[in-house]
Amino acid sequence: MDLTPYMDEEWTNSLMQSQMVEYTTDDGMIYGVPFRLDAKLFFYNKDIFEEQGLEIPTTWDELIDVCEKLQAAGITPIAEGNQDQWPACHYVGTLNQMCVADDVRAKDYNAATGEFTDPGYVQALDYYQQLVPYMNIGVNGQTHDMARLNFTQGLSGMLYAELVEITNVKQENPDLNWGMFDFPVVEGSGNPDLLSGSPEGFVISSRTQYPDECVEFLKWFLGPEVGAQQATEVGWFNASLGADAGLTDQSLIDAYNVIAEAEEMGPWFDSSLYSTVCDAYLTAISDITNGDITPEDAMVKIQAVAKEAQTLVQ
């Protein structure tokens, strides 16, 4: 159902507009409202960083330097589990955002026009490949949850994770001294200001016999009062401004501020691609993780699948 007529000034001004983009069509129709905001950051073990004299990396070279020093100290730098294939693709999605211009990515992520010939895509895979030696062994053989458990038990220095996992980290090790930092910036033709992540949300069926009642429910359920309760009790945020009211947990406060201050979100990579292109990318990233294929050869395969996809959607 088109929610645009219901979006009065009061409701509009109560929501984070950066999070409404995902639920707004190109012609301006609003069809949903976010329920659970999310983004991707590096989680890091503060005690390990302090013991090794490490600073939070802000550039790619600094990230590699941190990984080198952790590895030299006998500590696994990055916990990673890619058995389900989506975790590793989040690295590549973020790197694509920095290595490939926004308009080029928009064209390529559209199945009708995707080509993936920009050299930035190979560059992004090159960067990802540089990180693989600093990950735990058997990356493709374990799940992301298993990798997170390695991090929460103090067996690795860093974990690339979603903000909705903050509650998992606290449950798995309440005593862990940890923090978060943005994905370090890499040099490229893309947009380093994008924050990787997408909000989950609610839509209303256009066939409902009770549109007004449904809207009123969403205004309440996705509003600041319930949002503040949800943030405090569950550790998730809706898109209402002020949903952080009453928070005392610093990690949740930091997470909320990261999303609230984001100029623009970069939607999840695997969710942005046509199904066959996504499958080709996920397989290629897994193969790169195993050392079975080069970034150049991976992109040749992806380009072929993208060309075929154009014929499937026309």
Distance of CA 40 to the CA centre of its chain: 4
Q: What's the rounded Cα separation, in Å, for the pair 198 and 274?
A: 17
Tens of pLDDT along the chain (314 residues) come to: 999 999 999 999 999 999 999 999 989 999 999 999 999 999 999 999 999 999 999 999 999 999 999 999 999 999 999 999 999 999 999 999 999 999 999 999 999 999 999 999 999 999 999 999 999 999 999 999 999 999 999 999 999 999 999 999 999 999 999 999 999 999 999 999 999 999 999 999 999 999 999 999 999 999 999 999 999 999 999 999 988 988 999 999 999 999 999 989 999 999 999 999 999 999 999 999 999 999 999 999 999 999 999 999 97
Residue 167 lies in a domain: yes
Dump the DSSP string for 27-50. Answer: TS-B--EEEE---EEEEEEHHHHH
Cβ-Cβ contacts under 8 Å for 55 (sequence gap 6 or more): 49, 62, 66
Residue 75 lies in a domain: yes
Determine the structural domain holding residue 107 and report its residue range. 40-195+268-313
Tokens for 127, please give them.
């960067």
Residue 211 lies in a domain: no
Residue 49 lies in a domain: yes
Number of domains in the chain: 1
CA distances from 222 to 20, 37, 95, 212, 267 (A): 13, 11, 32, 15, 21
Q: Are 256 and 244 in contact (CB under 8 A)?
A: yes
Residue 215 lies in a domain: no
pLDDT tens-digit series, residues 217-261? 999 999 999 999 999 999 999 999 988 988 999 999 999 999 999
Nearest to 38, CA basis, from 273, 274, 265: 265
Residue 288 lies in a domain: yes
Tell me the H-state helices in the chain: 9-13, 17-20, 46-51, 60-72, 86-99, 102-109, 119-131, 144-152, 166-172, 211-221, 224-233, 250-260, 269-272, 275-290, 295-313
